[in-house]
Amino acid sequence: MSPHLWLAAFSHNNRITHGGHLFMVEQSSRVSRRRLLQGMGALAALTVIPAFPSYASASDDSSFTKLSTLLTGKSQLPENFTRVLLAAFSRIDSSFSSKTSRLQQWIDHNTVSANEISSKLAADPSVADLAHLPTDILTGWYLGVVGKGDNAICVAYIEALANQVVADKLRPPTYAYGAYGSWAAQPL
């Protein structure tokens, strides 16, 4: 039986017609739609798994976790979100881990509070290349987006801290109400 006929086995009464011929499909050879979809979903999930090991080395970066805790002011941050956010930063900038380590060492050495980081980083020429890092990290945590422009990676939406802050009153939609920019059209 050809593949398209096999898929047709989901037709009513286990009968399949093709080219004027009637085929009967036995109940034992029938696969339910649910089983087929589950299998397809499992196969699709397996294709995604190889994408993550290349960033696995970034997942245990304690400097990023410490910086995130300091900058957000939250003592507990979601572990999965932390891992995915760090992987996205590492994907965009291969030296991200070394930069976070340098920034954490600089903060520890200068005993800088979260409120002073931006101004003191801007005033210290030895760490001028790290001045954007706190803003980038906070953007990642609060907006769920890493990078800018064509290089931007969306790593979270509902889990982003900006949406979590207002979650008791507002539920962000998980779908678009219309095409991109449709909210800008004038009402009739």
Q: In terms of residue numbers, what domain contains 94?
A: 62-166
pLDDT at 107: 93
pTM above 0.95, yes or no: no
Residues of the chain short of pLDDT 70, as ranges, are 1-30, 45-60, 173-183, 185-187
In a domain, 102, yes or no: yes
Instruction: State how many domains the chain has.
Output: 1
Retrieve residue 19's tokens: 């080219």
pLDDT at 135: 94
Instruction: Give the Cα separation of 94 and 159 in Å (integer).
Output: 25
Note whether 124 and 58 are within 8 A (CB). no
pLDDT at 109: 92
Note whether 144 and 155 are within 8 A (CB). yes
Instruction: Give the Cα separation of 48 and 43 in Å (integer).
Output: 9
Q: What is the mean pLDDT of the chain?
A: 77
pLDDT at 36: 74
In a domain, 97, yes or no: yes
Instruction: Give the Cα separation of 170 and 164 in Å (integer).
Output: 9
pLDDT tens track for 47-59: 665 554 444 444 3
In a domain, 104, yes or no: yes
pLDDT tens track for 87-126: 999 999 999 999 999 999 999 999 988 899 989 998 999 9
Note whether 143 and 153 are within 8 A (CB). no
In a domain, 124, yes or no: yes
Instruction: Give the Cα separation of 138 and 111 in Å (integer).
Output: 20
% of the chain at pLDDT higher than 70: 67
In a domain, 123, yes or no: yes
In a domain, 18, yes or no: no
In a domain, 35, yes or no: no
In a domain, 135, yes or no: yes
Strand partners, 153: 146
